Amino acid sequence: MAFLVPVLVGAGAVVALDRPVDEPQVKVLEPPTPTPVTAPAPVEEPTVEEEAVVEPEVEAEPEPEPEPEVIAEPEVELEKPAPAAGRLARLRARLAKSNNVFSKGLLALLAQDDIDEDVWDEIEETLLMSDLGADPAMELVDRLKERVTVEGTRDSETVRAMLREELVAMVDPSMDRRLTATRKDDKPAVIMVVGVNGVGKTTTVGKLARVLVAEDREVILGAADTFRAAAAEQLTTWGERVGVETVRSEQEGADPASVAFSAVETGVAQEVDVVLVDTAGRLHSKANLMEELGKVKRVAEKQAPVDEVLLVIDATTGQNGLAQAKVFTEAVNVTGIVLTKMDGTAKGGIVVAIQRQLGVPVKLIGLGEGADDLAPFEAETFVDALIAS
């Protein structure tokens, strides 16, 4: 399945820049400085008498030849991000902890000759520990029970194939996980990234910019996280590494909606493909902060429609993260989930739980702190990684 519609440039895509690399990469929003209006000085026509008293012209010293101006070309080494296609397969080893639960734990239990009720309980418990959620865990146990009865004797390959089939069905390959990242109606695609504190929003925006650059898209970043002082700097650095401009405000605590507006405005003017807007982490329990998120979206939409609102969830927070997520889906129309920190958790089942409870597909997963450790989510590749031997 293609990750982004409709153009997918494969490996080795050249990073396209629409301006020379020595231009400043940061657009800083500053109050406009009033331009003093000065009347042009009247040009006086010289009179004839005046002309008569003009001293004979002394030959002026020849002006020294100006030194040719040397423009220092800053050494901007642009990085070439890894292509997005096939990333999940390449990073599958990062799911080692989840793999331990499914492949080592679950498969061993299922491969036993006699699976009695105690073993089925243990299977269900293992599924619950992976954060699959109570209903899906029960459903899966029922499906497996049914199949084990029908299949009779089972070798480990049959069991693996059976579990794979059932898990893939639960992760649901039919969900539309494509990310809108294509211009339409002469406007850039706009993607907003939201979530609670510290889940990895800024990092995700930076990594996503690289995914898009790897696909030859032109991107603008908007640092609408005006709450955390370092966030704009962090985002700017991510952008600079791949030649992407960041629109930000130098004023701490500036109105995030106005930064988002300016970022989209810049994106429209520069005719880029995608504007990525980072927002501040906020507690789902703070109604005013959730309202602010709605405002950021509305104000940005005065320039161009927001196509995607990606909710970032830290996979290690499990079911607690789910409760937070619900509030976000009520405040803004969340179109996709980014599950971060999947490299550090055994709770791979959270993918199913989130999709079931929120009705929103997981579109991307974070598998590490490295710049290219963000992968488009693919149901089958994900399940294969979980049950790999």
Strand partners, 360: none
Structure token pair of residue 40: 């042009």
Q: Please, which residue, 279 or 303, has the CB nearer to ligand GTP?
A: 279
Does 201 bind ligand GTP (CB under 6 A)? Our answer is: yes
Residue 100 marked in a binding site: no
324 sits in which H/E element: helix 318-331
CB of 175 to ligand GTP, least distance (A): 21
Build a one-symbol-per-residue string for 286-325: x at contacts with ligand GTP by CB under 6 A, - elsewhere.
Answer: ----------------------------------------
User: Which residue among 91, 366, 376, 382 contacts ligand GTP (CB under 6 A)?
Assistant: 366
Cβ closer to ligand GTP: 234 or 335?
234
Residue 344 found at the interface with ligand GTP (CB under 6 A): yes
Instruction: Closer to ligand GTP by CB, 110 or 238: give it.
Output: 238
Out of 367, 375, 385, 387, which residue is the one contacting ligand GTP (CB under 6 A)?
Answer: 367
| Closest distance to ligand GTP from the beta carbon of 339 (Å) | 8
- Residue 187 marked in a binding site: no
- 139 touches ligand GTP (CB under 6 A): no
* Residue 242 tokens, joined: 């791949």
Neighbours of 220 (CB within 10 A): 28
CB 352 within 8 Å of CB 362: no
Angle ∠(210,215,219) on CA atoms, nearest 5: 55
Closer Cβ to ligand GTP, 273 or 343, answer by number: 343
Closest CA to 359 of 335, 341, 340, 385: 335
Query: Which one, 132 or 374, has the nearer CB to ligand GTP?
Result: 374
Please name which of 335, 295, 289 lies closest in space to residue 312, comparing C-alpha atoms. Answer: 335
DSSP 8-class letter at 184: B
Q: Is 202 labeled as ligand-binding? A: yes
* Minimum separation from the CB atom of position 232 to ligand GTP (A): 10
**CB of residue 340 to ligand GTP, shortest distance in Å:** 4
Residues numbered 202 to 221 that lie near ligand GTP (CB under 6 A) are: 202-203
Task: Name the nearest CA neighbour of 249 among 230, 232, 269.
Answer: 232
Asked whether the beta carbons of 212 and 219 are under 8 A apart, the reply is yes
Determine if residue 282 is labeled as part of a ligand binding site.
yes
Least distance CB 256 / ligand GTP (angstroms): 12
Give the single-character DSSP code of 363: E
Interface pick for ligand GTP out of 81, 267, 281, 336 (rule CB under 6 A):
281
The residue number with the shortest CB distance to ligand GTP is: 281
Under rule CB under 6 A, residue 228 binds ligand GTP: yes
Site membership for ligand GTP, residue 200 (CB under 6 A): yes
Residue 245 lies near ligand GTP (rule: CB under 6 A): no
- Using alpha carbons, select from 212, 97, 234, 108 the residue that is nearest to residue 160: 108
Written as one string, the DSSP assignment of 241-291 is HTT-EEEEESSTT--HHHHHHHHHHHHHHTT-SEEEEEE----TT-HHHHH
Which of residues 136 and 281 has its CB atom nearest to ligand GTP in the complex? Answer: 281
Give me the least distance between CB of 278 and ligand GTP, in Å please: 7
3-state SS, residue 198: coil
Query: Is residue 108 helix, strand or coil?
Result: helix
Gap between the Cα atoms of 90 and 80, Å rounded: 17
Backbone angles phi, psi at 381, to 5 degrees: -65, -40
For residues 302 and 265, give the distance between their C-alpha atoms in angstroms, rounded to a whole number. 9
Stretch that binds ligand GTP, among 190-198, 238-246, 263-271, 295-303 (CB under 6 A): 190-198
Among positions 198, 253, 294, 359, the unique one binding ligand GTP when judged by CB under 6 A? 198
Strand 362-366 with 374-376, pairing: antiparallel
Q: Binding site residues for GTP, as ranges?
A: 195-202, 278-282, 340-343
Q: Report the interface residues with ligand GTP, using CB under 6 A.
A: 195, 197-203, 225, 228, 231, 280-281, 340-341, 343-344, 366-369, 373
